[in-house]
Chain A
Amino acid sequence: GAGVSQTPSNKVTEKGKYVELRCDPISGHTALYWYRQSLGQGPEFLIYFQGTGAADDSGLPNDRFFAVRPEGSVSTLKIQRTERGDSAVYLCASSLGLAGGANEQFFGPGTRLTVL
């Protein structure tokens, strides 16, 4: 497909478990972003990759959250020891990653994570 895809679309897990959320960006987009959207809120920035490296991970809430993008394409967001407060929709976006200028981000449909 031409858009950003995310799997799974829904994930239900128990408190304390480990989860992985996957994002496939638009082909050719060098920049990739993770956001988290809680109920009634707008998306909140988590982490930004330019190529394989995390250029800014200042939005990750704590060290239970980690993300990788080993080959500069697919990215995985990993959450250890999940807590009920982690329940949210996790959104991935990608963009051309142009240096300077405007940089519209294209979002995937999100993964709805529910921690019981």
Chain B
Amino acid sequence: DAGVIQSPRHEVTEMGQEVTLRCKPISGHDYLFWYRQTMMRGLELLIYFNNNVPIDDSGMPEDRFSAKMPNASFSTLKIQPSEPRDSAVYFCASGPRTPAGEQYFGPGTRLTVT
């Protein structure tokens, strides 16, 4: 398997623009997670899905952030409008339904909002 695929790998945008991050999870995994990582705040869980259904979005910072999972093979995280404080590395991870609940992370998208 190719692992979790994320695109783009790097995104530079101006404040106020819409940003869409994409993720293809590992086939057969039940869970999909979106994280944000910064030096100041560490690794934060934004939202996660179970079988394409959003389960917990309490980590989504505000209404500017939205996430969708239209099918088992694809998810998006959208920021509209973007702000400089959104600059971070955004990881998508997927995981099987196992006791360990291990998560497999994608390479991340490094977002810079100027």
Partners in one complex: no
Q: A residues engaging B (CB < 8 A)?
A: none
